[in-house]
Amino acid sequence: MKKIISLSFMFVLTGSLIMAQSKAKEKVSFAVLGGVNYQNQTGKDFNGNKLSSTGISGFHAGVNAQIEIVPEFYFQPGLLFSTKGSEITESGITGKYRLSYIELPLNLVYKSQLGSGFVMIGFGPYAAYGINGKATYDTDLGSVKSVVEFKNEVATGDPLTTTYFKALDIGGNLFAGYEMAGGVFLQLNTQFGMVNILPDDNRIIESKAALKNIGFGLSLGYRF
């Protein structure tokens, strides 16, 4: 009798563990995604005047996890490689900046069934870290390429031929999209930087320069 009770207990425990694991898997999913960006930068020059800038195209690619909080609401952390930048014209010189970031978005997502799939709306903060960059300056005499270096403060002795940015970018995300029953999804993203990505420049007295990343993108992904 004791053996029967013990075996029954083991079966119940094993079954409970299997069901718990299955439910846990149902509450967490993963996705791969990628797409195109149209990025720009807004800000002021050294004198505090508004910069004249235009956007440039780029791309993003990465992964995310989706963790159910309560039905229809999810926490969605991710890890992306993303390009940002702009074209800025000052005093007849056009600077084109292309910056590459590793980005960590932390979004809250609402998903509601629509047809056979789900409509998605999400928002949240992001933190990005610059890992590479290129700068080109176009003048009437030709083009000049510049090395990009990420640092928080520019010293008086730092070379004038280098272009400087802060590595850390922090801002907000907002997106909306549709996920089909098979897991394929399409979403439109917008992003707005909240911090100045220009370092303190000790070569310039009382500089009022500031620059922030903004942009939007279109993502195609697959959730499994």
Give the pLDDT confidence of 30-56 residue by residue, as tens digits: 999 999 999 999 999 999 999 999 999
Does the pLDDT value for residue 105 go beyond 80? yes
Confidence of residue 26 (pLDDT cuts 50, 70, 90): low
> Residue 204 has what pLDDT?
87
Contact 122, 173 (CB under 8 A): yes
Q: Residue with structure tokens 């999913």? A: 29
Residue whose pair of structure tokens reads 């029953």 in the numeric block: 181
Q: How far is CA 73 from the centre of its chain?
A: 21
DSSP alpha helix (H) spans, 37-175: none
- Please tell me the predicted confidence (pLDDT) of residue 8: 35
The C-alpha atoms of residue 221 and residue 210 are separated, in whole angstroms, by 34
* pTM of this structure: 0.86
Nearest alpha-carbon partner for 221 in 197, 186, 174, 192: 186
pLDDT at 25 over 80: no
- At 174-192, the pLDDT tens digits run 999 999 999 999 999 999 9
Can you tell me the mean pLDDT for 124-140?
97
- pLDDT mean over 78-104: 96
The verdict on domain 29-223 having CATH code 2.40.160 is yes
Q: Residue 126: helix, strand or coil by DSSP? A: strand
